[in-house]
Amino acid sequence: MHVTAVDVNSANRAGIPTSPGFRDVVKGYVALTKPRIIELLLLTTVPVMFLAEQGVPSLWLVIATFCGGALSAGSANALNCVVDADVDQLMRRTSRRPLARHQIPTRNALIFGLVLGVVSTAMLGFWVNWLSAGLALAANVFYVVGYTMILKRRTSQNIVWGGAAGCFPAVIGWTAVTNELALAPFVLFLVIFFWTPPHFWSLAMRYREDYAAASIPMLPSVVGSAEVARQIVIYTWVMVGTSLLLWPLATGWFYPAVAIVLGIVFLVEAYDLKSRAQDTEDLSVIKPMRLFHFSNAYLALLFVAAAVDPFLR
């Protein structure tokens, strides 16, 4: 029997499941890797390579680290989607993810995530070095097991400790060039560690009802906005102070100048959020996404400044 486009559209409107086309399947697997998160992670990897090299690193090394890091992050994100498939269906922000929509079989997504993890580890090990490969694998395991499976559903401090997985790319960028650990990349690790709560809690404030509906104790869903904003201010101060520690270790004048300006703006935004959240729970007044969007720009510009600094000495 010949099935026309009209028949398929009618079936969709009637709620009858139809087999996804090849393009939809490919889009689904790409979505499992959460490309936007990968972009942010790689933005903290490549600039550190320039800092570690104190100039321009090998193009091949940058490409190999970029590709291996992207696959490793994609693996962690895909496995996160597998573990969180049940709660993703309950949250408006995540309800369009492939597993929440049953666009891809869970078994296939699990295999896909594991294969990406194996390929990324081998790629980084053979093309970059095994120290970087080991760090990427450790970040992957910690994100999936430590954060997603253990911390996320058990404590309101889940993102504080679980967010450490997102700090590894800065260290990986350094070890890709030097094949050794040092204090400078550890400082950048801590910058991202203290940046994560203000960044994610401002987003979680916007979607606090989602987390409550899914019984996930993200801080904004278990305490008032005033308390969340107070903690955001504290973490922001620590983050800005930590960012300046890189200056005597690995940079000249340009990086600390940019870090100070960006830090002041971040603090102003954090205090503004705290002021708006003081006497209301109305999100249209609190405007938490304003801080969230700036936090992305802050991290990007800070790491670009670290990459540019060696060229200005």
Q: In the numeric block, which tokens belong to residue 203?
A: 């987003």
Least reliable range by pLDDT among 33-47, 76-90, 216-230 = 33-47
- How far apart are the C-alpha atoms of 17 and 105, rounded to whole Å? 14
| Residues 73-130 pLDDT 10s | 999 999 999 999 999 999 988 989 999 988 899 999 999 999 999 999 999 999 999 9
Report yes or no on 19 lying in a domain.
no
Asked whether the beta carbons of 164 and 41 are under 8 A apart, the reply is: no
Q: Which residues have a Cβ under 8 Å from the Cβ of 79 and sit 6 or more positions away? A: 110, 113, 114, 117, 140, 144, 148
Report yes or no on 212 lying in a domain.
yes
Residues 74 and 118 in one domain: yes
Residues 44 and 139 in one domain: yes
Residues 173 and 186 in one domain: no
Q: Which residues have a Cβ under 8 Å from the Cβ of 211 and sit 6 or more positions away? A: 91, 204, 217, 218, 220, 221
- Could you give the C-alpha distances from 17 to 5, 74, 123, 226, 227, in angstroms and in order? 14, 28, 39, 45, 45
| Residues 180-195 pLDDT 10s | 999 999 999 999 999 9
Assign residue 93 a region (left: φ > 0; alpha: ψ between -120 and 50; beta: otherwise).
Answer: alpha
pLDDT classification of 21: cutoffs 50, 70, 90? confident
pLDDT at residue 37, as a whole number: 86
Mean pLDDT over each residue of the chain, to the nearest integer: 92
Range of the domain at 61: 25-179
How many other β-carbons are positioned within 10 Å of the β-carbon of residue 20?
Answer: 16
Residues 175 and 186 in one domain: no
How many other β-carbons are positioned within 10 Å of the β-carbon of residue 240?
Answer: 21
Residues 113 and 257 in one domain: no
pLDDT at residue 137, as a whole number: 97
Residues 167 and 275 in one domain: no
pLDDT at residue 24, as a whole number: 81
User: Based on the structure, what is the number of domains in the chain?
Assistant: 2
- How far apart are the C-alpha atoms of 87 and 158, rounded to whole Å? 16
From 134, 164, 179, the end of a domain falls on: 179
Residues 156 and 280 in one domain: no
